[in-house]
Amino acid sequence: MFNLFSLQPAFGLDISDLSLKLIQLQKFKNEIKLYASNEMSVPAGYIVSGVIKNPEGVIELIQKTIKTSLGNKILTSNVVVSLPETKTFIKLIEISQVENKKLKKVIKEEISRHIPLTNEEIYFDWQIIKKITKNNEKKIQILVGAAPKNIVDSYTDILKKAGLTPQVFEIEACAIVNNLIQEKNDIPRIILDLGASRSSLIIYNNRTIQFSISISLSGEKITQKIAEKLEITLAQAEKAKKICGFDEKKCEGIIKEILEEYFFELLEEIKRILIFYKTYFSFHGTFKEMILCGGGSNLIELDVCLSKQLGLEVKREIPWIFKSQCFNHKKATWKSLISDFFFWPLFSKKIKSCPFSEDKFASFATALGLALRGIMEAEEQ
Ligand SMILES: Nc1ncnc2c1ncn2[C@@H]1O[C@H](COP(=O)(O)OP(=O)(O)OP(=O)(O)O)[C@@H](O)[C@H]1O
Ligand SMILES: [Mg+2]
């Protein structure tokens, strides 16, 4: 791969167990636009829980994803890549104020209290969030991210062999937050990413990620359960899941019944995580908002069911960079329909410039965040 047009920002590549997703963004004047995108399925067994088991196969798929990109050709080798969520660690920690030269050592000690790996086995990075005074003691809040060296090294190796130059390895929660939240206010938020092979929950408060945690639910697990219970093929089960979701009027409510078992497990897990956050992070506020992303968030009426049970607003978000280009026409009211009618030329122009549907925005949440980081890196140079 060559860097003929190094003016092109790095593209984002979301490497998951079951899919590769590519996004490249470009800045035109003051607006960020989608420049290229692609998605490729990864055959089962190539990547297992984030560990690359078939390097040659993954390299070939990466090259194919780049070569067949939709929209425009990718003419840069620079890439921003996500690290597997289940293998990484991100948390806001609080340490007593120390001299700068001692900071690294203190952070190292703190990390070793959270992950079952030695300091020699991980790469880590940190960002000072703010200095605070607690019980008359001066403290520093630091967002710490860590990833196992063997994972990062194996990803570096395959990316280089695919002709790429990894510019940044991003923790998935950071990519998702970059994509979904343009901070203007201090609303505490829960972000639930429901993927094919894994899911995770991110707690966001005080304008920073507090932590992210894996959740046992996955889209694949649900499809398998539907196939098992109804004695149908996986392809049929996948179709039934997407068509019926939680809608009790569809599929005679059978799919809803199967989904409910997982739904209540998910609810319990979310409630446990919130109690953990309140207890160990001394959080005294309340969450009013949950943002859903990942392909699994497209499950029909999942937002309604979660909202009812958790007592908060649950929604999918259009990435902040696309808000001016896309109308959020989810809730059509008489008023909005009338105003859309009168402002049709403006409305249709907006729809045309919106690059993705809401469903696609949800499943490309990580890739979009990575590509946005690519733009930020290019601006810093
Ligand atoms: N309309 C829908 N209803 C229900 N589930 C859906 C719908 N659309 C997609 N999904 C599910 O979303 C999952 C794919 O989501 P996503 O693309 O976020 O996963 P991924 O990034 O490939 O995997 P992961 O993040 O777990 O490694 C699949 O399990 C698919 O069945
Ligand atoms: Mg994913």
Task: Give the position, in ligand 1's atom list, of the atom nearest the Cα of 197.
Answer: 26
As a whole number, the mean pLDDT across the chain is: 91
Residue 44: inside a domain, yes or no?
Answer: no
* Cβ of 298 below 6 Å from ligand 1: yes
Confidence of residue 343 (pLDDT cuts 50, 70, 90): low
Distance CA(140)–CA(131), nearest Å, equals: 4
* Cβ of 19 below 6 Å from ligand 1: yes
CA separation (Å) from 372 to 45, 162, 348? Answer: 30, 22, 26
* Cβ of 9 below 6 Å from ligand 1: no
The rounded Å distance from CA 102 to ligand 2 centre is 37
Distance CA(346)–CA(315), nearest Å, equals: 25
Average pLDDT score over residue span 363-378? 96
> Is the pLDDT assigned to residue 226 strictly greater than 90?
yes
The rounded Å distance from CA 17 to ligand 2 centre is 8
The rounded Å distance from CA 82 to ligand 2 centre is 9
Residue 100: the pLDDT is 84
Nearest CA to ligand 1 atom 7: 298
Residue 138: inside a domain, yes or no?
Answer: yes
Region of 104 please: left (phi>0), alpha (psi -120 to 50) or beta. Answer: alpha
CA separation (Å) from 40 to 28, 67, 363? Answer: 27, 12, 13
Confidence of residue 193 (pLDDT cuts 50, 70, 90): very high
Residue 159: the pLDDT is 98
Residue 123: inside a domain, yes or no?
Answer: yes
CATH classification of the domain holding 101: 3.30.1490.300
Confidence of residue 14 (pLDDT cuts 50, 70, 90): very high
Range of the domain at 99: 89-148
Confidence of residue 341 (pLDDT cuts 50, 70, 90): low
Average pLDDT score over residue span 156-179? 97
Residue 136: the pLDDT is 86
Residue 124: inside a domain, yes or no?
Answer: yes
Nearest CA to ligand 1 atom 8: 295
Distance CA(337)–CA(334), nearest Å, equals: 5
Residue 115: the pLDDT is 86
> Is the pLDDT assigned to residue 39 strictly greater than 90?
yes
Domain count of the fold of the chain: 1
Q: Which is more confidently placed, 1 or 78?
A: 78
Residue 30: the pLDDT is 83
Residue 292: the pLDDT is 98
> Is the pLDDT assigned to residue 242 strictly greater than 90?
yes
* Cβ of 88 below 6 Å from ligand 1: no
> Is the pLDDT assigned to residue 329 strictly greater than 50?
no
Residue 97: inside a domain, yes or no?
Answer: yes
Residue 332: the pLDDT is 53
Residue 3: the pLDDT is 47
Q: Which is more confidently placed, 265 or 348?
A: 265
Residue 328: the pLDDT is 55
Average pLDDT score over residue span 348-368? 85
The rounded Å distance from CA 282 to ligand 2 centre is 30
* Cβ of 198 below 6 Å from ligand 1: yes
Residue 339: the pLDDT is 59
Average pLDDT score over residue span 154-178? 97
> 52, 83 in Cβ contact below 8 A?
no
Confidence of residue 2 (pLDDT cuts 50, 70, 90): very low
* Cβ of 196 below 6 Å from ligand 1: yes
Closest ligand to the CA of 237: 1
Residue 103: inside a domain, yes or no?
Answer: yes
Average pLDDT score over residue span 242-259? 94
The rounded Å distance from CA 367 to ligand 2 centre is 8
Residue 142: inside a domain, yes or no?
Answer: yes
Residue 346: the pLDDT is 54
> Is the pLDDT assigned to residue 144 strictly greater than 90?
yes
Residue 185: inside a domain, yes or no?
Answer: no
Residue 147: the pLDDT is 96
Distance CA(58)–CA(106), nearest Å, equals: 38
> Is the pLDDT assigned to residue 4 strictly greater than 60?
no
**What secondary structure does DSSP assign to 179-215, as a single string?**
HH---SS---EEEEEE-SS-EEEEEEETTEEEEEEEE
Nearest CA to ligand 1 atom 27: 16
> Is the pLDDT assigned to residue 350 strictly greater than 70?
no
The rounded Å distance from CA 198 to ligand 1 centre is 9
